[in-house]
Every structure is written in C-alpha cells, then in structure tokens.
Structure 1
Amino acid sequence: MTSCSLRALLPIGLLVGLGSGCVHRNSTNPPAAAPSATVTADDIARQPGQPIEQALMGRFPGVTVTRMGDGSVAVRIRGTTSIRGSSEPLYVIDGVEIQAGPGGSLAGINPHDIASIQVLKDPAETALYGVRGANGVLIIKTKRPDQ
C-alpha cells in the first residue's frame, strides 16, 4: 500500500481572496490584477473644483451619474435594476458600508480627500457583498493624514 502526502504535492503559498474569486499565489505567480476600474486622486486632481460625480462621468462603461433637480446625485451601475426598489449601488467608504442618504452618498465628500474610487459591477466582483451589492458597489478610499 502506497500513501502520499498532499502537502508534498502542492506548494503552500498565499491564497488571495478577491471579489472576483480566489487566486493561489506563490513565488512563480505574478500578483493578481484587479479586474475592476479605478479613479485615482491624480485623476480627480486633473479636474480642480469639480464635484465627485464629474470624476465618475464617462470613466466607467455601464455607470450613469445624474444630477437630480433637487441637487442630489443618482448613480446607476448597469442601468435600473428594479421598478419599485432602489437602484442605488452599495457605497463602501474606507471599509464601512454606507446607506445612501437624501442627497446621495457622494454628497458631502470633499473630492480632495479621496485617494481612489473603485467600481465593482460584475456579479462575480460584487458577490463578496451579497444581495447588498446586487446594484453594484462603489468603493471609496480616502487619504490618510500622511498623504
């Protein structure tokens, strides 16, 4: 009878969990590239004096940003997904899930405080957030005091 250790056959490396799946990394694999689109602080700085929604407009295919009559901002990812329910995406600011307020979740955020905005719109990417991410996810990271 022959026995074999599974540890001897598989190299132990780093398992990276992404919104689009898990990737097994070791020294021979390059780091996994993020499949989603990102706006950086440099992109926002190229449009001085503009609100955040200006940085999002036209940057991401399938993302519609609309300024409403009352001054609020409506963001739609992959179009309207529900007739009765909200089509607002999930906002995650510095790792904290934020519920959209009356002026929209982008209202009140200083564009100069943003380090990056990442849009997750593929179901495989938003699976990490479950049903809350069904309308897409906007991940906003703010600058730290030392930046």
Structure 2
Amino acid sequence: MSEPYYTLKNEVFANFAYYAAISTLKMMAMSLLTSRERFVKNAFANPEDIQLGRDKQAKVTLTDPDVERVRRNHLNDIENIVPFVIIGILYVSINPSSTTALWHFRTFFFSRIFHTIAYQLPLPQPSRAVGFAIGYATTMSMAIQFLRALFK
C-alpha cells in the first residue's frame, strides 16, 4: 500500500502546505495593512469605528484612495489565493512530479508577492497585470493537469 497523498511525508503535499500557508498568511496580512491605512488616514468605513481614530469628528469615508488601494489589493489576493489553495489540494491528488509541483507552488507565491509590490508602490502597468497573469496561469495549469488526470 502506498503512502497517503495528504501527509507531510509526501514531498509534494509538504511543499504545497508550506506555500499555501505562507500565501494565506500574506493574504491575512493585507487586512492588517488595510486597518493600518484606515488609522493613518483616519478613514473609517463604519461610524462606530471613528471613535478609535484621532479625529473623533471625522466622517465615514469610503473613498480614500490609499485605503482603497490596499483594500483592492487584499480583495485580489482573496480572489486568487483561495482558488490556488482549492486547486492545489486537487492537484496534489494526481501525484505530480515533485519538481514540477514545487515550481508551480513557488511561481504562484512569488507572483503574488510581486503583484502586491507592483500594486502598492505602484509600479507602472503592465507590472501588476504580469504578476496577476503569472499566478493565474499557474493555478490554471494545476487545474488543467488535474482535469486531464481525472478524465484519463
């Protein structure tokens, strides 16, 4: 009987688990950056939150460009990291080459780091688009490989 796929003894799963975990932590960090930006700019989305800021007379602000930039970046992470984790779990089940799998996981993670840097600085386009496209293509590659194995 072979080893189960979903154990840290399986190199592919162990590598996936590592990159899924750090990608998820990166995504979670974006919510903290959004909160930080709200406090720095005293730009709160809810009236009750204004009392936490410096200016108790501030108004609800949903349009601060700096807060919105971080928030959109966070939403983009959610839209990309969640599918990566779901597809990655399926991808591990086809027992891919450990080298190929590792490159998929690394490429995705570093594309998200680059995307965030390009979004927050901001770097001129198509920088951010390239970061997004590389991560998206990586997740699509894993999904296609899974579907091909499923329908063999």
- The two structures have a TM-score, normalised by structure 2, of 0.29
Query: Could you say which structure has the higher strand fraction?
Result: 1
Query: Could you say which structure has the higher helix fraction?
Result: 2
- The two structures have a TM-score, normalised by structure 1, of 0.29
